[in-house]
Structure 1
């Protein structure tokens, strides 16, 4: 007998499946179907054994989807390609719990997909060789570059332009990949929210292609206009245009919801025939299919005249229904639409932080050099700014139902975004530290704060204080989970940002794009005198150079890894909180976290590199 509906046989879910441990995923409760997954694995194992016994014959193994001919005589290269394509789909395109669990359970594969791969993609992007041309003899930047060794001319913090670059290569390749990653990051965040931002009638490929074309075509008139040509040399302008590009999906999603009247709670009023079987026919209330109807004043019984003709009664009631419907439409917003507005606010804050960070870095780079105190003030003023924006976004997203957006996985991703944003600016700062003493001061403050503050903030007395002050309303167990998540995300951000930084200074200092990134040339000391690469000993303190930056950064990275390991041991022996275990459980429960985290890491790493590229177009 054919079945029109597919049901999974099994017991009803337990009551605690919808507790705080399984918070909302966008508008829906995200409860992993562990039992069904286990039954599926058991069923597949039985089918595989039957296949091995010859029951399925030439259909081969159902477990891996391959035929006997492929298993015995198939082309090795083709099988390898299919295996990697299937793994790519199961991890990044349509992530599956089984594939993600297999990757995150092993430390080296977890490092490979969450740290090495994002860093490698960002480094490969900045290593793409630019077509370069020498500066014209009458160019102002050429005069500045020539005068650096003699007059100590004040130059921008990211260096004076040394070459001209091809505008079309920059626009279509370099900037094109940058914008594409930004669009993927927005799309993945919408996926976690369980909402598509593109029109269903058009589809994602066409919509994202149109936005990509607009993002590429927009700067072309500015490039060809002689009066506005100088604007193309400012990184802030390109960053702002990317901000507008990232806002397009947000505005498009809002327009789609408004067009479908998702902002109205009374969208599908009941017909007159349907209302006969409800109390609204007698009370004058306007029931709707949505089931959310505000309380209204009951009508007097004598308002209805049973002796009046039917068409008069219907006309009178229709007028009254339209009047009530119109008034209620103006007064009520459905909770789903309010939740979407909160989600838009969180995204806007994240994108604004990214533009603000670029301006903040530009101010610092244009006021070099700085002493140790100024450096510490710069770093930790930015720390405070990022953490305030992070706290505001975390409050908006919440972690359980009823807290504005109420999505734990969205909070996970935005926490990673802000942690990476802070770390990338600190890494870029390392390229201008002038002595090992400055590295030591910064790292001592960072490691000490982690080792001391993490146990303090996770303790029960600290949680009680937050509860008394109405700052936190979570249970102690849920609060511990959030603290463990934050420590895990901090470790990811530190490792990815440092690996990207070390890889980028290697390929940009020794590669063909050295003149495009004068910030990583390391050939000017604080007096403006030319220095050969790595001629200063690391302990001299006379100025920054490649040797000081590279080796001191490696030592700093090692200290961060040790500090993270010590902190995790303290939390385990003191409170039995397994930071790594909590992170693995999160990714198994929400497999979409893996591809979204990867895209976020690449996007923020690109931000760090894009802010220091020196643009002068041929």
Structure 2
């Protein structure tokens, strides 16, 4: 059986020629070699054109600067040449290798650079591919059934359940946000097709995030295919008894219950990885042997034990038993025998780093559970006026940005900053930005007038065009430094701000493309009754003016305004700071090629969250 996602520990050999250079993330930051270093362009036009030219028109720092310069200069060999790959003579094999294996399974810098260097292929992979998959997922027709007449059913238990179902439907009909469930759907189709693909994308996302962390979460003895298959089976098997037990069946009609179960499923790989590390005693051991000089400062030198301390009973004969029961280093009074108490009170840095990684994952997973609850509150309190709409949107903006800031602090980008990984911070920034955008898009379907669209768009575009360039100035960076909110150099700070803008543009385009596509397929498609949120037929409340034409065309105008605002911001930053936002994003993807498949997986799953939050579930008995 072929091996999937066989990741190995990263190496610092390429970017670590000297111990005097500082670290960025897990990688040694050294100046690029002469002749391929960063160079500023002679004019902003070169930046706006997005060409690489000689050298590098980029503000990459550290390890990224070295690899980006080598990629552009053609000096980085990733073994992707035809002579070294032995792909075969078949055209289809070459396409499979070049556009699937080299991009999504085992990403290579040259292959990723080839596709992200062209705007149409870059947007095709990062915007339209996940959007198309999400829209196709929700468009697959559900087997649907009309609500039965409870008076013709002679079975008492079934009649009780049907009356409960109709009572729930009656309650939900008072909630114009969601709309009442209009049909019953087949439980097995929902579980194995709809929810199954939702869980699969979640597991792929977690796997790719672990890939960026350079750690396999599955047991080596089982391997990835067997482990993820077992986990997928568990994720689908547990809801079955919940559905068949009358006392718990009510949970199956609540979207939040299914999202919470997915949260648990996504947490399982984290728990498995933690157990593997604990079983291997990584919390008390070292991955690499210590030198004799280093061992002087550990108990292994005093006791004669190996570095990893696999057995606490192995110690020198002249050390008494109570030596290992002391909590501090001390000397007994002169009347007694002087003894030095040595106790290991440290954790390996790699294990501490993994614990911080788990914290970041937990915050990220909690975000979409909170998003589901937040959307439920909004939909149960409709209709809203202009002020309430703004409060909801920017309340969610503040919530997401606080979670994003906390996760960013946990991840860090430099050595010693908890996790210290720039690629992971890139992916989580995309995750939170897209989480914010998807829930904002979903509320567009409940805006009742063009003025509400205008107010939201004016606030969004004005903030983007005015605030973004201000945040990149030296004065703003100096203020943050004085307040203790940033310890980054100005160059690194500029790089992060530029990256954040690229990620924002990506999230805006992907979320809007999915929103417009889902409106079309769910309003005119076979699943219209399953998604009454997009029905727009005023069946729930005749006083509400939720209109398909208003939603669709106003959203199209909003998207156009966002595109114009993004071009204006790119131009201002290119003119003022001589930085090309698009170029920085493309080089990030080429420097860390694993970002491409991880970003696609993250985008797809977050888009599915938006659609999953508005489906109405009533299962056929």
Interval containing the TM-score (normalised by the shorter chain): 0.7 to 0.9
Residue 262 of structure 1 and its aligned partner are, at CA, apart by: 1.1
Residue 127 of structure 2 corresponds to residue 115 of structure 1: yes
Equivalences for 1:16-55 in 2 at 5 Å? Answer: 19=22, 23-24=25-26, 32=67, 38=74
Pick closer, same or farther for the CA change 1:191–1:278 going to 2, 3 Å: closer
TM-score by length of 2: 0.80
1:97 to 86, 109, 116: 109
Pick closer, same or farther for the CA change 1:44–1:578 going to 2, 3 Å: closer
Residue 145 of structure 2 corresponds to residue 133 of structure 1: yes
Match of 1:340 in 2: 354
Residues 109 and 591 in structure 2, CA contact (< 8 A), matched pair in contact too: yes
CA offsets per residue over residues 515-572 of structure 1, 9 Å max, x none? Answer: 110101011178426xxxxxxxxxxxx7121111110000000000110110011011
**Structure 2 residue matching 1:493: 3-state secondary structure:** helix
Residues 286 and 325 in structure 1, CA contact (< 8 A), matched pair in contact too: no
Match of 1:316 in 2: 318
Q: Provide the rounded CA distance (Å) in 2 between the counterparts of 1:557 and 1:203.
A: 44
Residues 269 and 287 in structure 1, CA contact (< 8 A), matched pair in contact too: no
Residue 62 of structure 1 and its aligned partner are, at CA, apart by: 2.3
How big is the alpha-carbon RMSD for the aligned residues of Structure 1 and Structure 2? 3.6
Residues 253 and 617 in structure 2, CA contact (< 8 A), matched pair in contact too: yes
Pick closer, same or farther for the CA change 1:32–1:607 going to 2, 3 Å: same
TM-score by length of 1: 0.81
Match of 2:488 in 1: 474
Pick closer, same or farther for the CA change 1:90–1:266 going to 2, 3 Å: closer
Work out which of the two has the higher radius of gyration on C-alpha atoms and give 1 or 2. Answer: 1
Q: Provide the rounded CA distance (Å) in 2 between the counterparts of 1:579 and 1:229.
A: 50
Match of 2:278 in 1: 258
Equivalences for 1:96-495 in 2 at 5 Å? Answer: 96-138=108-150, 154-155=174-175, 157-265=177-285, 285-286=302-303, 290=307, 315-317=317-319, 331-495=345-509
Q: Provide the rounded CA distance (Å) in 2 between the counterparts of 1:444 and 1:35.
A: 42
Residues 68 and 587 in structure 2, CA contact (< 8 A), matched pair in contact too: no
Q: Which is worse superposed, 80-89 or 157-166?
A: 80-89
Residue 439 of structure 1 and its aligned partner are, at CA, apart by: 0.3
Match of 2:41 in 1: none
**Structure 1 residue matching 2:302: 3-state secondary structure:** coil
Q: Provide the rounded CA distance (Å) in 1 between the counterparts of 2:251 and 2:524.
A: 30
**Structure 2 residue matching 1:316: 3-state secondary structure:** coil
Q: Provide the rounded CA distance (Å) in 2 between the counterparts of 1:229 and 1:142.
A: 11
Equivalences for 1:524-563 in 2 at 5 Å? Answer: 524=538, 527-528=541-542, 543-563=545-565
Q: Provide the rounded CA distance (Å) in 1 between the counterparts of 2:614 and 2:407.
A: 27
Q: Provide the rounded CA distance (Å) in 1 between the counterparts of 2:297 and 2:515.
A: 66
Pick closer, same or farther for the CA change 1:198–1:434 going to 2, 3 Å: same
Aligned residues, how many?
A: 545
Residue 141 of structure 1 and its aligned partner are, at CA, apart by: 9.3
Residues 183 and 246 in structure 1, CA contact (< 8 A), matched pair in contact too: yes
CA offsets per residue over residues 52-85 of structure 1, 9 Å max, x none? Answer: xxxxxxxxx6277466xx4xxxxxxx52354234
Q: Provide the rounded CA distance (Å) in 2 between the counterparts of 1:323 and 1:137.
A: 73
Match of 1:592 in 2: 594
Q: Provide the rounded CA distance (Å) in 2 between the counterparts of 1:567 and 1:268.
A: 48
Higher helix residue share? 1
Residue 87 of structure 1 and its aligned partner are, at CA, apart by: 1.8
Residues 107 and 594 in structure 2, CA contact (< 8 A), matched pair in contact too: yes
Q: Provide the rounded CA distance (Å) in 1 between the counterparts of 2:170 and 2:296.
A: 87
Residue 619 of structure 2 corresponds to residue 605 of structure 1: no
Match of 2:533 in 1: 519
1:62 to 70, 83, 105: 83
Residues 269 and 288 in structure 1, CA contact (< 8 A), matched pair in contact too: no
Residues 280 and 287 in structure 1, CA contact (< 8 A), matched pair in contact too: no
Residue 611 of structure 1 and its aligned partner are, at CA, apart by: 0.6
Residue 86 of structure 1 and its aligned partner are, at CA, apart by: 3.5
Q: Provide the rounded CA distance (Å) in 2 between the counterparts of 1:398 and 1:43.
A: 31
Q: Provide the rounded CA distance (Å) in 2 between the counterparts of 1:485 and 1:38.
A: 24
Mind listing any 5+ residue stretches in structure 1 that lack a counterpart? Answer: 1-9, 46-60, 71-77, 293-312, 530-541
Match of 1:75 in 2: none
Pick closer, same or farther for the CA change 1:521–1:288 going to 2, 3 Å: farther
Mind listing any 5+ residue stretches in structure 2 that lack a counterpart? Answer: 1-12, 29-61, 151-161, 310-314, 329-340
**Structure 1 residue matching 2:83: 3-state secondary structure:** coil
Q: Which runs of 4+ in 1 moved over 3 A?
A: 10-20, 28-45, 63-67, 138-148, 265-270, 277-284, 286-292, 317-330
Q: Provide the rounded CA distance (Å) in 1 between the counterparts of 2:304 and 2:259.
A: 49
1:504 to 512, 518, 521: 518
Residue 491 of structure 1 and its aligned partner are, at CA, apart by: 0.3
Q: Provide the rounded CA distance (Å) in 1 between the counterparts of 2:304 and 2:490.
A: 42
CA offsets per residue over residues 79-114 of structure 1, 9 Å max, x none? Answer: 235423432000000000000000111111111011
Residues 158 and 519 in structure 1, CA contact (< 8 A), matched pair in contact too: yes
Residue 136 of structure 1 and its aligned partner are, at CA, apart by: 1.4
Residues 144 and 184 in structure 2, CA contact (< 8 A), matched pair in contact too: yes
Q: Provide the rounded CA distance (Å) in 2 between the counterparts of 1:348 and 1:494.
A: 25
Pick closer, same or farther for the CA change 1:108–1:15 going to 2, 3 Å: farther
Q: Provide the rounded CA distance (Å) in 2 between the counterparts of 1:483 and 1:336.
A: 29
Residue 344 of structure 1 and its aligned partner are, at CA, apart by: 0.4
Q: Provide the rounded CA distance (Å) in 1 between the counterparts of 2:243 and 2:591.
A: 48
**Structure 2 residue matching 1:370: 3-state secondary structure:** coil
**Structure 1 residue matching 2:122: 3-state secondary structure:** helix
Q: Provide the rounded CA distance (Å) in 1 between the counterparts of 2:136 and 2:78.
A: 42
Q: Provide the rounded CA distance (Å) in 2 between the counterparts of 1:355 and 1:588.
A: 32
Residue 33 of structure 1 and its aligned partner are, at CA, apart by: 8.9
Residues 570 and 581 in structure 2, CA contact (< 8 A), matched pair in contact too: yes
